[in-house]
């Protein structure tokens, strides 16, 4: 049985915005962007709506190394690489190694239902090239 959603302005705007935005956004950023588009929403509302969307499997949630949780439309399993300089976030896909690794770990340590959280960090091309100087 699917989770029940009522059709409301905020509700709709959230999903639409997440569809447009490339990459994960924090609740704060989401609220600002909604505000800019004329949709005022309280942070409590957004957190609750996002939670529902996550439960419904429409949105994916991940916590980054800066301690902030960000949300994005669910797509094929992938990971992110975050620029340590400009904070830009890009999608990347990682080979099948990790699945193998997960199974190996599960077997060896007696754990089950194993999943993982993986993010890469680096310096992106823009921040590498000599903009100044």
Binding site for a second copy (CB under 8 A): 63, 65, 67, 69, 81, 83-84, 90, 92, 94-95, 97-98, 101-102, 105-106, 108-125, 128
Shortest separation between residue 6's beta carbon and a second copy, angstroms:
30
SS3 at position 107: helix
Instruction: Identify which of residues 21 and 68 has a Cβ nearer to DNA in the complex.
Output: 68
Three-class secondary structure assignment of 40-99: CCCHHHHHHHHHHHHHCCCEEEEECCCCCEEEEECCCCCEEEEECCCCCEEEECCCCHHH
**38 interface partner picked from DNA, a second copy, none, CB below 5 to 8 A per type:** none
Is residue 48 within the footprint of DNA (CB under 7 A)?
yes
* Antiparallel, parallel or unpaired: β 69-73 and 79-83: unpaired
Contact residues toward DNA (CB under 7 A) are 4-11, 26-28, 40-45, 47-49, 51-52, 63, 67-69
């Amino acid at each position: 049985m699917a989770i029940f959603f009522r059709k409301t302005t905020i509700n709709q705007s959230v999903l639409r915005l997440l569809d447009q935005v490339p990459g994960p956004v924090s609740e704060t950023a989401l609220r600002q962007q909604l505000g800019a588009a004329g949709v005022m929403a309280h942070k409590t509302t957004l957190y609750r709506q996002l939670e529902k969307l996550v439960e419904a499997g429409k949105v994916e949630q991940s916590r980054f190394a800066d301690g902030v949780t960000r949300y994005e439309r669910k797509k094929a399993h992938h990971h992110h690489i975050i620029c340590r300089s400009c904070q830009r976030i890009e999608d990347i896909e990682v080979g099948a190694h990790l699945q193998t690794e997960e199974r190996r770990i599960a077997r060896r340590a007696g754990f089950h239902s194993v999943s993982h959280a993986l993010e890469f960090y680096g310096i992106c091309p823009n921040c590498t090239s000599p903009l100044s100087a």
